[in-house]
Amino acid sequence: MKRQLIGLTHYERISSMGRYSNISENAEQAMSIKYNTIVYDLKRKGVKVLVMSLGEAFFDVPLYSFAELPISEIYHYSHSLGIPELRKKLADYFLKQYSIPLNSDKEILITSGSKIAIYMALMAILNPGDEVVVQEPCWVSYPEQIKLAYGIPVQIPYDRSIYDYEKYITPRTKAIIINNPHNPTGYVYTKEEITYLLELAAKHNIWLLSDEAYSDFVMDGKFISPGSIDKEKNHTIIFNSISKNFGISGWRLGYIISNEKMIHNVLKINQHLITCPATILEYYVLNYFEKILSYTVPMMKELHEKRKAVAAYMKDIGLECLPGSATFYFFVSIIPTKLTSEEFCTRLLTEEYISVVPGLGYGYSCDKFVRISIGTSKLDEIKCGLDKIKEFIIKTS
């Protein structure tokens, strides 16, 4: 053993000595976070970058007083399902907004962001080697989270239809994940599609995991959650987030909605991993729920109009993207460039100072796409950026 190690670097020696798990060694970095980290570094050096890679919209939500919050509670752990009053507030909101009835004592758990909620749900349903079906482009963390829960992601190429999903279901399949509305395309699922997926879940006795982190970005009441059809939540697990819908991603508050048994199993995992989210922030959101929404809702409407203007501009200059109508993301084709999406994004960043995210992060079938976010830059700057992206595609063809 010792002799074989001669000639290896220090890093290789340590990893070949089995100090790290295969699962962590083989995990991929989140592509969006990787590129945004480069942007933060460049900005710190004073480089001006047009940022179209960030996964958020900047809403100017004012800071309300923390002094109003109950001092006897805020410094301490809270209930491991989340504080009852906030659970009740969310349950009322879900009924009114999305027609989803839920028992706030048993069917919802608030935790530190929806990312960990999704992972804990995967831990609650997967045995080693179980499969989870997800279509590309898929949010960067689904395949990695499935693997971290000892499951196998079965990734469907981007050009297949929802009605093809059944071909990918095997006796090992435990779940299908959808993201509605969709990051990175902005696609909003129709009632027919959601109904079909629920029928598929019932037929094969599997779960439909519905990640609804951007639900409030869908205008005109067009958002349909499986929870409004599968009211007993026999096959449905919903994830939602205070991050995007409330414009406070850094506060790490998210939640999971499902039937009592599922929530109980996730609760046990939550008790061992998280305990509870930051109590003070739960109270803050509870106290200022309506006030925060009174800021974010009009801004989301503005963003929706901005999205329409960007879509029209892309059409004018001949940039193509996958179908979508909500959120602040576009998944844009870079065909006919000769570059891979990573080469394209790295060169676009270092030569043109524009940051977008490589499509490869969203699946192998997506290497001729990039994700563009319009959440943080002004419309004129975005148009300028799109012109440069178009030129860069031509230059690298």
Nearest CA among 384, 380, 393, 375 for reference residue 321: 393
Strand-pairing partners, residue 210, are 178, 238
Strand-pairing partners, residue 225, are none
Angle at 137 between CA 133 and CA 139, to 5 degrees: 80
Q: In the complex, what is the shortest distance from the CB of residue 10 to ligand PMP, in angstroms, rounded to a whole number?
A: 34
Compute the distance between CA of residue 149 and CA of residue 130 in angstroms, rounded to an integer: 10
Give yes or no for a contact between 96 and 252, defined as CB atoms under 8 angstroms apart.
no
Specify the residue, 306 or 371, whose C-beta has the smaller distance to ligand PMP. 371
Angle at 61 between CA 60 and CA 63, to 5 degrees: 125
Give yes or no for a contact between 219 and 249, defined as CB atoms under 8 angstroms apart.
no
Compute the distance between CA of residue 76 and CA of residue 79 in angstroms, rounded to an integer: 10
Q: Which tokens go with 349?
A: 């960043």
Q: In the complex, what is the shortest distance from the CB of residue 249 to ligand PMP, in angstroms, rounded to a whole number?
A: 5
For the chain, give the number of residues: 397
Q: Which of 145, 185, 241, 287 binds ligand PMP (CB under 6 A)?
A: 241
Compute the distance between CA of residue 54 and CA of residue 371 in angstroms, rounded to an integer: 10
Q: Which stretch binds ligand PMP (CB under 6 A): 15-23, 110-118, 198-206, 262-270?
A: 110-118
207-211 sheet: strands from edge to edge: 108-111, 254-257, 236-241, 207-211, 173-179, 131-135, 152-156
Q: In the complex, what is the shortest distance from the CB of residue 395 to ligand PMP, in angstroms, rounded to a whole number?
A: 31
Q: Which helix (H) or strand (E) holds 382?
A: helix 379-395
Find out whether the peptide bond into 70 is cis, omega within 30 degrees of 0: no
Specify the residue, 255 or 288, whose C-beta has the smaller distance to ligand PMP. 255
Q: Which of 104, 225, 243, 355 binds ligand PMP (CB under 6 A)?
A: 243
Bridge pairing between strands 173-179 and 131-135? parallel
Q: Which of 87, 115, 174, 307 binds ligand PMP (CB under 6 A)?
A: 115
Q: Which stretch binds ligand PMP (CB under 6 A): 94-102, 109-117, 298-306, 375-383?
A: 109-117
By CB under 6 A, tell whether 109 contacts ligand PMP: no
Q: Which stretch binds ligand PMP (CB under 6 A): 112-120, 167-175, 225-233, 340-348?
A: 112-120
Specify the residue, 151 or 184, whose C-beta has the smaller distance to ligand PMP. 184
Q: Which of 53, 104, 114, 377 binds ligand PMP (CB under 6 A)?
A: 114
By CB under 6 A, tell whether 249 contacts ligand PMP: yes
Q: Which stretch binds ligand PMP (CB under 6 A): 101-109, 113-121, 157-165, 359-367?
A: 113-121
Write down the residue that tokens 């009740």 correspond to.
88
Specify the residue, 366 or 393, whose C-beta has the smaller distance to ligand PMP. 366
Q: In the complex, what is the shortest distance from the CB of residue 114 to ligand PMP, in angstroms, rounded to a whole number?
A: 3
By CB under 6 A, tell whether 213 contacts ligand PMP: yes
Q: To 10 degrees, the CA torsion angle through 244, 153, 30, 27?
A: 140
By CB under 6 A, tell whether 183 contacts ligand PMP: yes
By CB under 6 A, tell whether 181 contacts ligand PMP: no
Specify the residue, 31 or 339, whose C-beta has the smaller distance to ligand PMP. 31
Query: Longest Cα pair distance anywhere in the chain, in angstroms?
Result: 68
Site for ligand PMP in 330-359 (CB under 6 A): none
By CB under 6 A, tell whether 254 contacts ligand PMP: yes
Site for ligand PMP in 49-108 (CB under 6 A): 55
By CB under 6 A, tell whether 377 contacts ligand PMP: no
Q: What are the residues binding ligand PMP (CB under 6 A)?
A: 55, 113-115, 139, 179, 183, 211, 213, 241, 243, 249, 254
